[in-house]
Amino acid sequence: MRFSDGALITGMIVGGVLSPAVPWYLVMFTTVVALLSKHMLKIKRKPLFNPAAVGLFIGATLFAAGESWWIGLSMNPAWMTVFLLAGGWLIADRINKMPLVFAFLGTYMLIFLLMGLIGVSGAGEGLRAPYISAALFLAFFMLTDPPTSAARYRDQIYSGILAALVCGAAYLYLNRLTYLLVGLLVANGWNAIAATYHRRARAREAAAR
């Protein structure tokens, strides 16, 4: 039996995002849903959505499972964020996803800054812990998931901007527990549509030759 490192990573992210106060059976439920989504929601053996995000979103929606994002060092002193940034930078650069990270974080911070300047209630929290720690972790380690993120630099930029815009809207009008997950899942869906379009375009070009 082959050990699945992808399943291990998904389980680690789920456990690292959920609050330590969440009952063990909800952690198991969230993990199982995440792994099932990986195998059921896919196109040509590639998952459509980040599995951990699917599990966490469903767990939060059905059971209001608490999230602390402690894996993003949200419960540690602010100076420890440097370790998150350093590790995230190395990984994102290695898999060529830096345009995606910069597009998301730049747009995210601009949106929340503008909302704060115009006096939107609670907007400033989006740039403070634990929200900013969660956004950093999502940008470097979840949004850049190779199977569910864009490959082309231009598509990465579009995807990052879209994810941040949806996050901002979800923060205001939906649930602050899931606003980051909503942005990520919408970006995943857009990536799947874009990938299908590019694949069909290449097929038409090949047929025309």
Say yes or no to pLDDT of 1 above 50. Answer: no
pLDDT bin (cut points 50, 70, 90) of residue 8 is confident
Cα–Cα distance, 103 to 172 (Å, whole number): 21
pLDDT bin (cut points 50, 70, 90) of residue 29 is very high
- Structure confidence by residue, pLDDT tens digits, 130-175: 899 999 999 999 999 999 999 999 999 999 999 999 999 999 988 7
Say yes or no to pLDDT of 200 above 80. Answer: no
| Rounded average pLDDT over 119-138 | 89
DSSP 80-129: GHHHHHHHHHHHHHHTT-HHHHHHHHHHHHHHHHHHHHTT-TTGGGGGST
Say yes or no to pLDDT of 183 above 50. Answer: yes
Residue 191, H or E segment: helix 179-208
